[in-house]
Amino acid sequence: MSDLFKRRESVPGTAQEPAEDERPKGTWEDSGYRMSDEEAHRDTVYHIPNQFMQVVAVFKTQMSLYSKRKSIYLVLVVAVMIPILYVLAKDIFDFGMVAEASGTGLIGALLSMLPFIMGIFTASLCGSVMPAEFNDRSAYMNMALPMSRTAFCLGKYLAGVVITIGVFVFAYGMAMAGSLITYSFFDEEALAKSFTMMLLSVLVYTSFTFAMGCFIKRGATIVSFLIIAIVLPVIELYMFMNSYIDMSGFMLFPNMLPDLACLTLGSNISMSPMGVLNMLVHIVNPASMDLLLSAVISAAWSVAFLVLGIIAIERREM
């Protein structure tokens, strides 16, 4: 019987405990267990990360999720095909019909699908992210944590912006590579202006599609694409053709930026309602565009839609 209740010496720092009927009697000090403050985490202070670190944590998680999206790799493959398709088509198709005979003009022609791909890519990437969170029930686990919903939304949104910028910067690089096959000179000013418009259009499209995804529970991808890539351009063209707005006002609509990015390079066409009409009647003169004012309007548009999306998530019941 005395052997049964005999004190057992335990190895310091281990979590091994004796069985219930073999536990030593007396105080904690008498038990023989020893653990430093560091091992016992007695001096560890636990706290909720600040808003910035919450955004960073959500951003990293969403970037990891995006790395598994097949649609992103598909768009990159399409971008890689730009110079290859040009080599195959340059002896068959006269690119001078749709663009100026210059290096920048050829870049504009090779990027003529930019408005269409920008619309469908951002709608798929940003427009679906919040509906997917709620449909898959993962949002209910994340938002139950001590995390700000604003930080949750910002992390998701910024991940979409970074991915989109990376994809279209890569597309510009591939178009320049294709142009170098025939030309060795670019209009650096026009290229810089077009590149700036592309970056602004990323903010415009991602914020709009993200906000639509926050408001619409199902079908946000197709609805976002139809509105920003087709419905809005048709309405704006109608207003312009019926003299409700002049050309300077028409070019300040933020959703027109992908088209203007192509036309600024010397292309006469872009894959959108406005781009197709411009090929027929040449209604747009990108040289007259006020880029600074357009940037201010685009920034205001982006912030407004992002705030609307965050408000929708803040007010959404769990």
Supply the angle between the helices 188-215 and 257-264 in degrees, to the nearest 10: 170
One domain, residues 74 and 4? no
Domain that holds residue 290: 52-314
The answer to whether 212 touches 220, Cβ cutoff 8 Å, is yes
Task: Please check whether residues 31 and 107 belong to one and the same domain.
Answer: no
Contact 278, 268 (CB under 8 A): yes
pLDDT of residue 3: 45
Same domain, 164 and 281: yes
In this structure, the answer to whether residues 218 and 71 fall within a common structural domain is yes
In this structure, the answer to whether residues 81 and 183 fall within a common structural domain is yes
Q: What does each of the 318 residues of the chain score in pLDDT, given as a tens digit?
A: 444 444 444 444 444 555 555 555 666 566 666 667 666 666 666 666 788 888 998 899 899 989 888 889 998 998 999 888 888 888 787 777 777 878 899 999 899 888 899 999 999 999 888 888 777 777 666 666 677 889 989 999 999 999 999 999 999 999 999 999 988 888 899 999 999 999 999 999 999 999 999 998 777 889 999 999 899 988 988 898 888 988 888 888 999 899 999 989 988 888 888 877 777 777 777 877 888 999 999 999 999 999 999 999 888 775
11, 71: one domain: no
Q: Residue 296: count other Cβ atoms within 10 Å of its Cβ.
A: 12
Q: How many domains does the chain have?
A: 2
Same domain, 258 and 118: yes
Q: At what angle do helices 149-179 and 114-125 cross, to 10 degrees?
A: 150
Q: What are residue 188's phi and psi, to 5 degrees?
A: -60, -35
Same domain, yes or no: 57 and 41: no
Q: At which residue do the structure tokens 């604003």 appear?
A: 150
pLDDT at 298: 95
* Contact assessment for residue 102 and residue 266, using Cβ atoms and an 8 Å cutoff: yes
This prediction's pTM: 0.81
Calculate the CA dihedral of residues 80, 81, 87, 88 and round it to 10 degrees. Answer: 160
pLDDT of residue 32: 64
